Amino acid sequence: MGDLLLVRHGETEWSVSGQHTSFTDLPLTQHGEEQAKSLAPLLSQRTCALALTSPLGRALRTAELAGVPSPVIEPDLHEWDYGGYEGITTDEIHRTRPDWDLWRDGVPPGPDGHPGESPAEVGDRADRVLARVDTALAHRTGDVILVAHAHFLRVLTARRLGLPPTEGRLFQLSTGTVSRLSTEHGRPVVAEWNTRP
């Protein structure tokens, strides 16, 4: 049975500034493109059974530059919908809501089509992705690669390990990295985290 490889997209202007970025489709910075290219040697050493990517440009470009083979767009891989907190930093939010915590409180509604998501709603999407991953790992030879976003991949990691979505708070995830979820004695484990060449 193969492993599950998690690729966080390369740097964007808002990942540098700390602004919440979900539906705003920012391009990679030059450094972000270099980060994505640098992942190619890590991924080329693996046999890929299935590659899925978020529909957002920053993930698609990362997949392309990292040499991810034949990625398929999976809408459920999009980032946590930050609703009314899109483009706002945590420090800015804390000025009016000093006790706010994304993992506990979720976000307020945003513009039309972006109602925001609770941790449980993100967890539901992660569970659907993991069902697709499990099917591929059971019926194909090789690993599954997911190219997506920090908060979503953190929730997905928690769910893979049998934890509630809110426990994604435990897994800090840097831009332009590969992480590997594997199994040990039949149980899911974190085998590598935040790996760069």
Look at phi and psi of residue 180 and say left if phi exceeds 0, alpha if psi is from -120 to 50, else beta.
beta
Query: Is residue 79 annotated as part of the catalytic site, yes or no?
Result: yes
Element (H, E) at 63: helix 57-65
Active-site residue (options: 11, 33, 74, 79): 79
Nearest to 1 by CA among 190, 189, 140, 174: 140
What's the token pair of residue 193? 């985290």
Active-site residue (options: 9, 78, 149, 151): 9
Q: What is the largest CA-CA distance in the chain?
A: 51
Alpha-carbon distance 54 to 158, whole Å?
A: 19
Nearest to 176 by CA among 21, 44, 28: 28
**145 in helix, strand or coil?**
strand
Query: Is residue 33 annotated as part of the catalytic site, yes or no?
Result: no
List active site positions.
9, 79
